Amino acid sequence: MGPFEYIVIFILCWWLILLMVLPYKSSVPKNRDSAHYHAAPAKTYLTSKLCVTTILAIVVTLMVSY
């Protein structure tokens, strides 16, 4: 496989894993402010979710490619 195939596999794995990781640790706050949407999470933890997604995508890409 060439580098292009590895990049395509990584991107596909990254998106699939991101969609699986996004719902974790998301909780709706009990008290609602009028300035915020009622289903918006209190804290997103987006940085940690992106790091976990990238690490898992690298592992899955290596497992799929060999």
Residue 17 Rama label (left phi>0; alpha psi -120 to 50; beta): alpha
With beta carbons less than 8 A apart as the criterion, state whether 54 and 14 touch: yes
Q: Average of pLDDT values for 3-13?
A: 94
Q: Which DSSP category does 33 fall into?
A: -
Looking at residue 46, what is its pLDDT?
93
Q: What is the mean pLDDT of residues 6-10?
A: 95
For residue 49, the model assigns a pLDDT of: 95
pLDDT digits (tens, 9 = 90+) for 11-56: 999 999 999 999 888 877 777 766 677 777 878 899 999 999 999 9
**Bigger pLDDT: 2 vs 11:** 11
Task: Return the residue matching tokens 């289903």.
Answer: 39
Helical H runs in 1-66?
3-21, 46-65
Q: Tokens at residue 6, please?
A: 């590895």
d(CA 29, CA 19): 22
